[in-house]
Chain A
Amino acid sequence: MISLDINEKKYQVEVEPDVPLLWVIRDHLQLTGTKFGCGISACGACTVHIDGEAERSCQVSAKEAEGKKITTIEGMPEDHPVKRAWIEDDVPQCGYCHPGQIMQAAALLAENPNPSDSDIDEAMSGNICRCGTYQRIRRAIHIATKSMPKGG
Chain B
Amino acid sequence: MSTIINLSRRDFCKTGALLGGGLVLGFYYPGCKAGKKEEVKAVAPFIPNAFIRIGADDTVTIIVNKSEMGQGVYTSLPMLIAEELALDWSTIRIEPAPVDPAYNHTQWGPIQGTGGSTSIRSTWEQLRTAGATARVMLEMAAADIWQVDEKDCRAENGHIIHKGSNRKLSFGELVEKAADIEPPKDVTLKDPKDFKVIGRNKKRLDTPDKVHGKAVFGIDVMVPDMLTAVVARAPVFGGMVKSVNDKKAKEIPGVKAVVQIDSGVAVVADHFWAANLGREALEVEWDEGTLAALDTQNQGEQYVEMATKPGLIAAQRGDVQAALATAAQNIEAVYELPYLAHAPMEPLNCVAYVRPDSCEIWTGTQMQTSDRDAAVELTGLPPEKVTLHTTYLGGGFGRRAVGDAHFVREAVQVSMAVKKPIKVIWTREDDIHGGFYRPRAYNVIKAGLDAEGMPVGWQHRIVCQSIVEGTPFEMLIKDGIDETSVEGAADSPYDVPNFICDYQKAPSGVPVLWRRSVGHSFTAFVKEGFVDELAHAAGKDPYAFRRQLLAKHPRQQALLDLVAEKADWGNPSAKDRFQGIAIHESFGSFIAQVAEVSVSDAGKISVHKVVCAIDCGRTVNPDTIKAQMESAIVFGLSAAFYGEITFKNGRVVQSNFNDYEVLRMNEMPLIEVHIMPSEEPPGGVGEPGVPPIAPAVANAVFAAKGIRMRKLPMT
Contacts and interface: CB of A to CB of B under 8 A. Distances in A.
Interface of A: 16, 19-20, 23, 26-28, 30-40, 42-43, 45, 72-74, 76, 78, 83, 86-87, 90-99, 102, 120-122, 124-138
Nearest to B206: A95
Interface class of chain A by DSSP = loop
Interface of B: 69-72, 203-204, 206-217, 219-220, 222, 228, 253-254, 271-273, 343-347, 392-397, 425, 427-428, 623, 627, 630-635, 656-658, 662-666, 668, 670-671
B271 A27 contact: yes
Contact of A73 (B213, B253, B656): B213
Contact of A94 (B211, B395, B634, B658): B395
Contact of A86 (B211, B217, B273, B393): B211
Q: Which of B71, B214, B228 has the most chain A CB atoms closer than 10 A to its own CB?
A: B214
Contact of B665 (A40, A73, A134): A134
A93 B345 contact: no
Most buried by B among A28, A129, A132: A132
A95 B271 contact: no
Contact of B273 (A27, A32, A78): A27
A125 B213 CA distance: 21
Contacts of B203: 90
Q: Which of B72, B213, B393, B630 has the most CB of A within 10 A?
A: B213
B666 A133 contact: no
Contacts of A31: 213
A72 B212 CA distance: 10
Nearest to B423: A27
Most buried by B among A31, A83, A92: A92
B627 A83 contact: no
A9 to B, nearest CB: 15
A130 B345 contact: yes
B344 A127 contact: no
A36 B273 CA distance: 12
5 contacts: A35-B346, A83-B212, A95-B392, A130-B344, A133-B631
A73 B208 CA distance: 12
A117 B557 CA distance: 36
Given A27-B228, A128-B657, A96 B217 contact: yes
Nearest to A34: B213
B666 to A, nearest CB: 4
Contacts of B253: 16
B623 A39 contact: no
A125 B345 contact: no
A40 B395 CA distance: 20
Contacts of A137: 665
Contacts of B209: 95
B337 to A, nearest CB: 19
Given A86-B207, A87-B207, A132-B633, A95 B656 contact: no
B210 A98 contact: yes
A109 to B, nearest CB: 15
Nearest to B657: A42
Contact of B215 (A40, A95, A128): A95
Contact of B427 (A27, A39, A131): A39
